Structure 1
Amino acid sequence: MCGIAGFEGVGTEKSLREMVQAVRHRGPDYKGIFLRGRLGFAHARLSILDLSPGARQPMMLPDESVAIVFNGEIYNYSELRAELEKRGRTFRTSSDTEVILHLYALHGDACFKRLIGMFAIALYDFKARKLLLARDRMGEKPLYWSYANETLVFASEIKALFASGLIPKELDLHALDQYLQFDYVPTPHSIIRGVNKLEPATILTCKGGAITKKQFWHPPRAIENVSEKNALLRLEEGMRNVVRRELVADVPVGVFLSGGIDSSAIAYYAQRESKRPIETFSIAFEDKSFDESSHARLVAGHLGTVHHERTVTSNDALAIVPRLADVLDEPLADASIIPTLLLSKFAREHVTVALGGEGGDELFAGYPTFRADKLFDLYRRFPRVLRRAVSKAADMLPVSHANFAFSHNLRKFVSSDSPDAARRHIEWLGTFNDTARRALARSSMNGDVFAEAQSYAAEYKPNDLGNRILWTYARTYLMDQVLVKVDRASMRYALEVRAPFLDHTNVDFVFALPYSFKYRNGTTKYLLKKLMKGKLPSSIINRKKKGFGVPMAKWLTGPLKPLCTDLLSADRIKKQGLFDHGYITRLVNDHMMLRRDNRKELWNLMVFQLWFDRWMR
């Protein structure tokens, strides 16, 4: 895992050095730059495979025909290397970076579809005089780019683009509108006008100022006719293979263990494939409605791992909030980034790589929204007058600040009655719907914020609505919120996090299974739970989903109240000129007076204000 940056066009050695310094936290082991003519590459290295100086980047082929900077891991690099050696290619290192170079030399841009792993790659072909950018299939690794004034500039994080001096800091109002709805800015947009995120499974080619893009992978085109027994056997084999691949490193490897079924399943297979007890990591919370540490300890004891646990106080977590924008150079209103930062910092004291359970919910329908969707089929048959009565009743329920509080969940349920399933799920997960955004931002932002999400839903071709919704989650909430949160939090402390569920061979298989293998008769993660029966304690398999949250609603009426009222003060909002100060004042007052639980709305706005103060002043 590393940080990459560079340009083709106008740029200097000074701008390269400043760009790589901006992402130095991602790779503290070595900073390398390469400048030749109009091409500049920069790389901040976190050494994972082949720790020798020979594996440093930027790297070139021996004949200097191709140069590369690369962030990520290629899990099948050993097999690819053996294949390339049979073709007469010789290697100077044992790194996966050099494998990509030789694979490109033989296959051109068709090489990217041969890679199993997570990656953001910039490659320059001097003979063809073209720059290529490529991003992995599930969007695990970030890659931002912009083109202006005959210069293409790219980087792992926006802050490196700012450091180049080539990107003006201009707010994109359509992206802000999307952020208010989703809590993140969806790919391919970014919060900065003219800056883009490269789409997943995509190759961008820049040659002679002309930019083209093409996909090198797509989700399954058909549903397999497979028995449950056979699906379980294949899932078992697949999980063993992907976890075995992702345990390979020349540095210590551990597992994030929350005590939920996803992370517990990863820990199970990691322990099975390891010759020694694996190291697992969790954090405990003072607020018991958010604490999962007892479940993590149960799993660790059951598997025989070397378990590390640290109790974090409210003060530990709250100290992060004012500095959050140092981590987030694009606003992301997911409060679970706070414990993720704490967990990453803790784990980095012991290991350099950690495996996590990201992707399990999106592959196997693990979120409460999938049960809610079945209820919605009944709810939408109610007369409109009855639905309005339910909505009013939701607003009248006593406010609770507990995790997954009934009052909060009911409010979210009635917040969307869209007949479009993909849009409905996105509105359930998000914060400000169309009506709220019009009141909040007046008429300054009124575009279609759902266009990308609906196009992603259309990517999934089989006639299976449940899987199409899952694919929409994978291409929106997972890619642009969950994976961004984990990447920024872990890389803040130079910790590489790998997600075995998202190995594309696993994704190919699971998305070709019928939705009934994931959600069945009210049971979420049906097939995964069947797979783990007898491997994990039954209490872990059947426990209610809790999520990796923090008591934000309670904090906002207590220790975070001064920061909240300062960031969202009428004077500040008026001066900024983006939002209706009266609407925000009502949101704040209603929450503080316990008239309404506005935790999501207030946190969304606070994160934006923290980001705006840090990056746009």
Structure 2
Amino acid sequence: MCGVAGIVSTSPPDPQQVRAMCRLITHRGPDGEGYHSDANAALGMRRLAIIDVVGGDQPVYNEDRTVAAVFNGEIYNFVELREQLVARGHRFATDGDTEVLVHLYEEHGEDLVTHLRGMFAFAIWDMARRRLLLARDRVGKKPLYYRQSGTSLAFASELKALMADAGVSREVDPVALHHYLTYQYVPAPWSIYRGVSKLPPGHLLVWQDGEVSVRRYWKLDFTPRPVGSEREAAERARELLLDATRVRMVSERPLGAFLSGGIDSSAVVAAMARLSDRPVKTFCIGFDDQRFDEREYAATVARRYGTDHHEFVVAGASALEVLPTVTRHFDEPFADSSAIPSFFVAELSRQHVTVVLNGDGGDESFGGYRRYAYMNRVGRRQAPPRLQGLLNRVGSALAESGTAPRLRRVGRGLQLLGERPQHRYASLMSYFTNESKDALYTKAMHEQLAHVDSYDLIGEVFDTSRSDEDVNRLMDVDVNTYLPGDLLVKVDITTMAHSLEARSPFLDHHLMEWAAGLPGRWKVDGQVTKALLKKAMAPWLPSELITRPKAGFGVPLADWLRCELRPLAFDLLTDHTARSRGLFRPEVVRGLLQDHDEGRDRSTRLWSLLQFELWHRTCGETSCDTATAAPEPAAQGHCG
């Protein structure tokens, strides 16, 4: 596990610039560094040593040193690949997983990625052909940013490393901001800055003599496939999870697991316990607010499997203190509030282990979100065209008014009936709807974004999915949007901030490809979500955990914004600096703050605006160095 950076150019790049880039991502690799430099390329890396701790330094080279590679991630099938390559005459200088990349490249060129099982972002430099290959893993566990400037291209694991160049423009991309406000994250291929892109998951980039091409090499296929009985499928699910967990437990450093009390992380811990000859170390975050606290369920699983269990309770004051640090690590606006407990559980875990397994991906493969059941019930029913606008307006008014949750749900339902089917899920997933963004934006922002519809990002995936069932289409959407744009970014950034490696058995592509072909009714059965996985886990987990309603990894955000975080929100969102940006109408922002104070929940929208403003002051105008001082949190508000 590492952080990587580099520059390729038709003229000699500056190797000192690459060293400066790597210094900014030392937290991703505190155990060492390595560099390569020649007439057209400068490559660098920071290493977190997990496999071949003694001998696994990078860059790695082929036998005649004409191909070099730097790598971030883990290749879980590297032993088998190594044996195949040795049989074909390749000679290895290390015992780690990185070196298989250069020899696979010699054998297969760009197609080497199809042979890899793991999480990765890597760069391979072919000196003889003056050719750079960048690749990102299938689902997007490991990040990779790049910036093209003339005939040069720079890349890095984190945005802050690219922005270390003082000559790079820090102009905010209004389209990226537009999408961020809808979804709480900046989706690939955008970054928050104009001119800087994310390489999307499952994609390759080739730079050669100043020319760049990007292509997709993998997409999860939800085409229905023949299946046996549900009993056989449940057995197969356990087998695949055990195998995916087994390969992810290979480590020369201490290893543990996140345990939230949900079925996914609990299933991973159960699999680890079956594969380990010693107690699994488990880590859980809780809250004083019982609505968000799952420690009781995590402790039940910990007792069942005799784990070495550790807990930490997050308070609003703790969130306030850590907020500037979290913002700096994300490099661009990110408004999933569960990043706060994720940051704390990573900090807790790193005190004991270097590697953790988690339950990410279980919902997207087995139908775990309640919104799948809701959308399945609504189906593609649509109001007559003449009523759609009315339903949308009335629904929006109801959803925005009052404090009654039932009234808001009725309003949201009317809004959805007023949407086109392909945009309905996007509307459900949005935090700022199209209508609320229209109200928020200044005239100048309106003019720039008049022809951009964030709902199209989800609508396009829904329309082009190969599934003939809407439940599987929704999972297809999430695998291509929410999972890599939100969940995986959150886990990568919060764990690597603490030099902690996170591995996700449910994101094994063998398991995902098998699950994608299962019938949607086995995943969402009426109002029962994750139906097949619950059957599969019945022999492994306590019945009360399997039957309990799903609880997301949420935080008491609405309360925090009326209490500990209230002064910070008011100060940052209403002062001259915020108003002077000319992006949002000040009276609308102040109205959101006032509504929230009066009991109408505006917490997710306020959090999105607050995260953007915090980012702008911490990173947007200067280099987002995690060692740089951030604005001091405002004094706590009165809570009573």
**TM-score normalised to structure 2 length:** 0.91
Structure 2 Cα separation of the partners of residues 339 and 550 of structure 1? 8
Q: CA 1:587 to 1:263, structure 2 compared with 1: closer, same or farther past 3 Å?
A: same
Shift of 1:597: 0.5
Query: For the residues of structure 2 that align with 1:508 and 1:454, how far apart are their CA atoms?
Result: 22
In the alignment, the residues of structure 2 paired with residue 468 and residue 195 of structure 1 have an alpha-carbon distance, to the nearest angstrom, of 30
CA contact (8 A) 2:70 2:123 kept: yes
Structure 1 distance, partners of 2:505, 2:292, is 25
- What is residue 556 of structure 1 aligned with on the other side? 561
Secondary structure in structure 2 of the residue aligned to 1:91 = coil
1:219 match: secondary structure: coil
Letter in 2 for 1:529: K
Structure 2 residue 62 is matched with structure 1 residue 58: no
Residue 483 of structure 1 aligns to a residue in which SS? helix
How many Å apart are 1:197 and its aligned residue?
0.8
Q: CA deviation at 1:387?
A: 7.9
In structure 2, C-alpha distance between the alignment counterparts of 1:410 and 1:494, rounded to whole Å: 45
Deviates more, 1:262-271 or 1:408-417: 408-417
Q: Classify the secondary structure of the residue corresponding to 1:55.
A: coil
Aligned to 2:26: 24
Q: Which amino acid aligns with 1:23?
A: I
- In structure 1, the residue corresponding to 2:498 is in which secondary structure? coil
Displacement of 1:412 in angstroms is 4.9
User: Pick from 269, 285, 291: which aligns with 2:287?
Assistant: 285
Rounded Cα–Cα distance in structure 2 between residues aligned with 1:136 and 1:409: 38
Counterparts of 1:409 and 1:248, CA distance in 2:
46
Unaligned ranges ≥5, structure 1:
400-404
1:171 maps to amino acid: V
Q: In 2 relative to 1, CA 411–190 (structure 1 residues): closer, same or farther, beyond 3 Å?
A: farther
- Counterpart residue number, 1:260: 262
Name the stretch that deviates more: 454-463 or 554-563.
454-463
Q: Which residue of 2 aligns with 1:511?
A: 516
Provide the residue aligned with 2:433 in structure 1.
433
Percent of residue pairs identical: 39
Counterpart residue identity of residue 299, structure 2 = R
Structure 1 residue aligned with 2:498: 493
1:97 aligns with 2:98: yes
| 1:412-491 aligned within 5 A | 412-417=412-417, 419-442=419-442, 443=446, 444-446=448-450, 447-491=452-496
Change (3 A) 1:606 1:387: closer
Tell me the TM-score normalized by structure 1: 0.95
Structure 1: distance between partners of 2:403 and 2:194: 42
Aligned counterparts of 2:568 and 2:325: Cα–Cα separation in 1? 12
Match of 2:626 in 1: none
Partner in structure 2 of residue 402 of structure 1: none
2:614 alignment partner, one of 588, 607, 610: 610
Are 2:383 and 2:418, in contact at CA under 8 Å, matched by a contact in 1? Answer: no
How far is 1:411 from its partner? 5.6
Q: 2:629 maps to which residue? A: none
- Cα distance in 1 for residues equivalent to 2:457 and 2:395: 31
Aligned 8 A contact 1:372 1:413 in 2? no
Partners in 1 of 2:47 and 2:523 — Cα distance? 39
Which residue is 2:227 aligned to? 226
Distance (whole Å) between structure 1 residues aligned to residue 292 and residue 27 of structure 2: 30
Q: Distance in 1 between matches of 2:410 and 2:300?
A: 32
Kept in 2: contact 1:413–1:428 (CA 8 A): no
Deviation at residue 574 of structure 1 after TM alignment? 2.3
Report what 1:79 is aligned to. Answer: 80
Counterpart of 1:132 in 2: which secondary structure?
strand
* Distance in 2 separating the partners of 1:41 and 1:465: 45
Match of 2:517, as an amino acid? A
Shift of residue 423, structure 1, vs aligned partner? 2.9
Where does 1:209-358 land on structure 2 (aligned, <5 Å)? 209-220=210-221, 222-227=223-228, 228-358=230-360
- Indicate how the Cα distance of structure 1 residues 78 and 420 shifts in structure 2: closer, same or farther if over 3 A, else same: farther
Structure 1 residue 377: Cα displacement = 4.0
Between the aligned partners of 1:144 and 1:289, the Cα distance in structure 2 is: 38
Q: Deviations over 1:123-182 (max 9, x none)?
A: 111122200000110011101111112111101111000113453211101111111111
> How many angstroms does 1:455 deviate by?
3.3
Measured against aligned partners, the alpha-carbon deviations of 1:186-207 in whole angstroms (never above 9, x if no partner) come to: 1111111111111211111111
Instruction: Please provide the CA RMSD for this pair.
Output: 2.0
What corresponds to 2:636 in structure 1?
A: none
Superposed CA deviations along residues 288-308 of structure 1, whole A, max 9, x for unmatched, are 111000100001111221111
- Residue 2 (structure 1) aligns with: 2
SS in 1 for 2:529: coil
AA aligned to 1:565 is: F
In structure 2, what is the Cα distance between the partners aligned to 1:519 and 1:454? 21
Cα shift at 1:467: 1.1
Counterpart secondary structure, 2:7: strand
Match among 582, 591, 596 for residue 587 of structure 2: 582
Tell which deviates more after alignment, 311-320 or 289-298: 311-320
1:147-226 equivalences in 2 (<5 Å): 147-165=148-166, 167-220=168-221, 222-226=223-227
The Cα offsets for residues 207-263 of structure 1, whole Å up to 9 and x where unpaired, read as 111112222222226311212223222212111110101111111111100010010
Deviation digits for residues 432-457 of structure 1 (CA, Å, limit 9, x no counterpart): 11111111113143312233333333
- Name the residue aligned to 2:631: none
2:367 corresponds to which letter in structure 1?
Answer: A
Q: For the residues of structure 2 that align with 1:573 and 1:381, how far apart are their CA atoms?
A: 41
Aligned length: 610
Aligned partner of 2:586: which letter? H
SS class of match (2:549) = coil
- The answer to whether the 8 A contact 1:155-1:161 is kept is yes
Using the TM superposition, give the Cα deviation of residue 22 of structure 1 relative to its aligned residue in structure 2, in angstroms.
1.1
Q: 2:358, 2:190 → 1: CA distance?
A: 27
Structure 1 residues 62 and 526: CA distance shift in structure 2, 3 A: same
CA contact (8 A) 1:26 1:491 kept: yes
Deviation at 1:524, TM superposition (A): 0.3
Contact 1:243–1:500 under 8 Å retained in 2: yes
In structure 2, the CA distance between the partners of 1:269 and 1:155, relative to structure 1 (3 Å rule), is same
Contact persistence 1:8–1:153 (CA under 8 A) = yes
State the 1:102 CA deviation.
Answer: 1.4
Change (3 A) 1:360 1:287: same
When structure 1 is superposed on structure 2, of 600-609 and 86-95 the one drifting more is: 86-95
Report the CA distance between 1:413 and its aligned residue: 4.6
Q: Secondary structure at the match of 2:459?
A: helix
2:506, 2:420 → 1: CA distance?
28
Contact 2:144 2:156 in 1 (8 A): yes
Contact kept? 1:50, 1:95, Cα under 8 Å: yes
